[in-house]
Chains A and B, each alone.
Chain A
Amino acid sequence: MINKFLGFKPDEKLLPSKTVTPDTEIDLSSHKYQKIWLGPNHPGVTGNMAVELTVQGNTIMKAKTHVGYLHRGFEKLIERRLFVQGFPTSIRMCVAEPDTNEYLIARCTEELSGYADAVPEYANWLRMLSLEMARLAGLLRGVPGQGGTFALGIGVQWGVYLRDLILDRFEELTGARVYHMYIIPGGVRGILPDGFKERMEDNLRDIDDFIIRIKKLMFHNSVFKQRAKGLAVITPDMVDKFGIVGTNARGCGVKRDVRKDNPYLYYDKLDFDPPTATDGDVYSRTWVRWQELIQTVDLIRQIMAKMPAKGDIRAKMPNVLNWKIAKGDTYVRLESGRGEYGMYYVTDGSDKPRRINLRGPSYNHAISVLEHMLIGADVADVHAIMVSLQTCPPEIER
């Protein structure tokens, strides 16, 4: 408007292009574009990951994900450890839901050594319980976290408190709050303490209340709807091209859930249906996760009702100091809060694994998908997109 008033007509060729595609030419020396770094300061739920953005004004032309701030070399370290020593190291590969790593290492060693069916029933139920509790703890931070990216901080405060209560339950069951070191090849490391079910039920009632409050706070929220609807749409044909799994896939209607497709433990005995949405944008994904929160609470209630009262917690296995496994390899997967989480495990006949390779869902989500999603997005929405894809850098770089 001002330009019309002043009578100034800028040369259109000197302005940055209005349309943005992956193939748009970017000439940094033309001063139309600017490179800014986002991260790797820990912006909450997204983790230590940097995104190098090339922007014009507020619009992102190109993005590059830089990982490597959390590379601890765990896969190589585990190659130097005995089979039973691997699990304390492996769980640090994913901070948000460490139990998944414990379960994968335990399951792989059991399968390769022939003890897959020897794990007692009670131990398997306890494993399921700790996996679902881990999913609950992750969702309690992830669901309101989405609101946090739109400066709706109050949900995060509520969620973190309730997650702390779940960590109290973990402390009671496993002996530690964040890195549980509870699932071990052959079984688990402790029985269900007395009174656990009652205390858990108290916490679940609080969470039921929270679920309703979050719905009112986020899903009946005009600001949230305006910002989240239509943002970062994933279409169903992208799912297989990019290897998108978990809630990100279900957010656009592609129903993928390892618990239903390749059931493990006793998930085929439980009654649940993975939720899906159709739009594939940030709002749908958050809504799917919120549904999953309700479902996880229900699953925990079902598990606590169906599990046996007592039993052995570990199978009789060879002496842990002398245990050797014959040459072989396997791939075991499970459904974590973020999607399909798997481990490729190779043994060579000695008492240490030859190679373990973790496949985290964020490997594709945080690099290929994010870089694709960010093209044409607004700088202010970068965090929202990252959180909605549930990027977790520790599992990318191990």
Chain B
Amino acid sequence: MKELIEKLSSKYELQEVTYQRNNLVFAAINKDSAIDAVTYLRDYEGYTHLVMMSCVDWIEEGKLQLLYLLNSPSQKNDIGIRVYIERENPEMVSAHHLWKSIWTYQRELREAFGINFPGSPRIEENFVVEGWDDMPHMLRDFDTHEYAEKTYFPRGNRKTNDPAEYMRAKLYPNQPVTAKQRKDDK
């Protein structure tokens, strides 16, 4: 796959090139040239099969990472193109002219991460959560535990004990303690 990376890097600026296995390589391309690179790979290098399109939320860095994973049925290897976009009002060029199946992925990403793909067919339609009015549910700052506690009625008669804390209360309640135990006391 090294030849492919060399060819690709002569046309586009590649970053974070990672050879994960001998048949899988990842590379990051900037947002403006990403669709161009994907089209080039599809038309000239034989990566005709779109495996999936995915997204990862790197909330610490304030970025969303898109992934276009392409497979070449003839060479039997994969290349993953990573694209970093801003987390605030994210938007990306639609690729629905390249594959007839990618609009579903884009529709899901719109609902799950809030990424807009202007022009993608049926982009406004919800995918799996009908009537959802909260923030995009796959973002890291959406706390599912908190949502579940707020929305549903848990059976409230469960209480657990920490063995170390319990033993302290029973066996040596008045003795000097570590900072962690002092914190747990409060």
Contact = CB atoms under 8 A, between A and B. Distances in A.
Given A73-B137, A77-B144, A344 B73 contact: no
Interface of A: 67-68, 71, 73, 75-77, 80, 111, 240-243, 256, 261-262, 328-331, 333, 340, 342, 344, 346, 354-355, 357, 359, 363-364, 367-369, 372, 397
Nearest to B80: A331
B128 A80 contact: no
Nearest to A69: B128
Given A331-B24, A354-B56, 8 more contacts: A68-B127, A73-B144, A262-B23, A331-B69, A331-B78, A333-B51, A363-B52, A367-B101
A26 B123 CA distance: 20
Given A73-B144, A359-B52, A256 B24 contact: no
Contacts of B100: 241-242, 368, 372
Nearest to A358: B52
A68 B126 contact: yes
A355 B56 contact: yes
Interface in B86-100: 99-100
Given A77-B144, A364-B104, A368-B103, A357 B54 contact: yes
Given A242-B101, A354-B56, A368-B101, A71 B51 contact: no
Contacts of A71: 128-129
Contacts of B48: 240
A76 B137 contact: yes
Given A331-B24, A368-B104, A359 B127 contact: no
Given A75-B138, A76-B137, A354-B56, A68 B128 contact: yes
Contacts of B184: none
Contact of B145 (A80, A240, A346, A355): A80
Contacts of A242: 99-101
A77 B147 CA distance: 13
Contacts of A397: 127-128
B127 A346 contact: no
B52 A344 contact: yes
Interface residues of B, number: 37
A296 B64 CA distance: 42
Interface in B110-163: 126-130, 137-138, 142, 144-145
B50 interface: yes
Nearest to B24: A331
Nearest to A367: B104
A368 to B, nearest CB: 4
Q: Is the contact region of chain A dominated by helix, strand, or loop, or is it mixed?
A: mixed
B168 interface: no
A240 B100 CA distance: 9
A330 B24 contact: yes
B180 interface: no
28 contacts: A67-B127, A68-B127, A68-B129, A68-B130, A73-B137, A76-B138, A80-B145, A240-B73, A241-B100, A242-B99, A242-B100, A243-B51, A256-B73, A261-B73, A262-B23, A262-B76, A328-B18, A328-B20, A331-B78, A344-B54, A344-B67, A355-B54, A363-B52, A363-B101, A363-B105, A367-B101, A369-B101, A397-B127
A241 B99 contact: yes
Nearest to B130: A68
Contacts of A77: 144
B26 interface: yes
B31 to A, nearest CB: 19
A283 B142 CA distance: 47
A73 to B, nearest CB: 6
A118 to B, nearest CB: 16
A333 B18 CA distance: 18
Nearest to A66: B130
Most chain B CB atoms below 10 A, which of A355, A368, A369: A355
Q: Count chain A CB atoms within 10 A of each CB in B21, B52, B55, B126 and give the residue with the most.
A: B52
B127 A363 contact: no
B169 to A, nearest CB: 24
A32 to B, nearest CB: 23
B128 A342 contact: no
Nearest to A72: B128
Contacts of B76: 261-262
Contacts of A355: 54-57
B147 to A, nearest CB: 10
B49 interface: yes
B144 A76 contact: yes
Contacts of A241: 99-101
Contacts of B23: 262
B104 A329 contact: no
A369 B105 CA distance: 14
Nearest to B78: A331
A346 B64 CA distance: 13
